[in-house]
Structure 1
Amino acid sequence: MNAEIAAVFVGSSIRFAAPLMLASTGELVSERAGVLNMSVEGMMLTGAFLGATGAWATGNPVVGLLAGMIGVVPIAWLQAFLSITLRANQIVTGIGINILALGGTTLAYRELFGERSSAAIPGLAHWAPPGLRAIPVIGQPVFDQVWLLYAGIAVLVLTAIMMRHTALGVALHAVGAAPRAVDQSGLSVTRLRYGAVIYSGVMAGAAGCFISIGDIHTFTEGMTNGVGYLAIAAIIFGNWKIGRTVGACVLFGAATALQFQLPMIGVQVPTALLIMLPYLLALVAVAGLIGRQTAPLALTQPFKR
Structure 2
Amino acid sequence: MAYETSQNPAAPAAGTEPVAARRAGWNKVPEVTLYFWIIKVLCTTVGETAADLLNEKAGLGLTGVSVLMSALLAVVLVVQFRTTAYRAGVYWTAVALISVVGTLVSDNLTDNMGVPLETTTTAFAIVLAVVFVVWYRRERTLSIHHIDTTGRESFYWLAVLFTFALGTSAGDLVSERLDFGYWLSAVLFALSIAAVALAHFTLGLDAVWSFWIAYVLTRPLGASIGDYLSQATGDGGLGLGTVVTSALFLAVILGLVVYLSVTRRDVAEPQPTARRTA
TM-score by length of 1: 0.34
TM-score by length of 2: 0.36
